[in-house]
Amino acid sequence: MAIVYQGSGKMLIGATNISLNCTQISLDAGFDSLEATVMGATGHKFVAGLQSVSVSATVLLEYGATAVEKTIYDALGDGDTTIVISPTSAVVSVSNPTYTISNAMINTAMVVNSQTGALDTMTLTATGGTWVRTTA
């Protein structure tokens, strides 16, 4: 078993690795709950519906023609963005599964967040699409 520490997550938007600009990455993957309770049941029964996915990240802001802000801005509002997230930057394995989210939409990105005496960061969120977990 590999316990991950010291925040070594990996995040790609399209083919661009933004990991070195991230201070926090989170991924919630699951399914919508559909009720399948039948007459006479004494408790609720649920089955998996459509996949659900939510991504958030805190990103150190960097501006420029090839910078992370431009990458995120170009994908903002598109419903066909591919995002790849892993717990670490190591090779994909059972102890470092990779989640590929297809057709996600980056729906919010705080593209300006300036504060005296602090590093400028942005928060981005993405929802929707489908996810696949790979271990090899």
Residue 95 lies in a domain: yes
Q: How far apart are CA 134 and CA 136, in angstroms?
A: 6
Supply the CATH number for residue 117's domain. Answer: 2.30.110
Q: Which domain holds residue 68?
A: 10-36+44-134
Strands 81-86 and 10-13 come out as antiparallel
pLDDT tier at 7, thresholds 50, 70, 90: low
Task: Give the count of domains, the chain.
Answer: 1
Residue 86 lies in a domain: yes
Confidence at residue 2, expressed as pLDDT on a 0 to 100 scale? 53
Rounded average pLDDT over 106-123: 89
Residue 110 belongs to a domain: yes
- What percent of the chain is predicted at pLDDT more than 70? 95
User: So what's the pLDDT on residue 100?
Assistant: 97
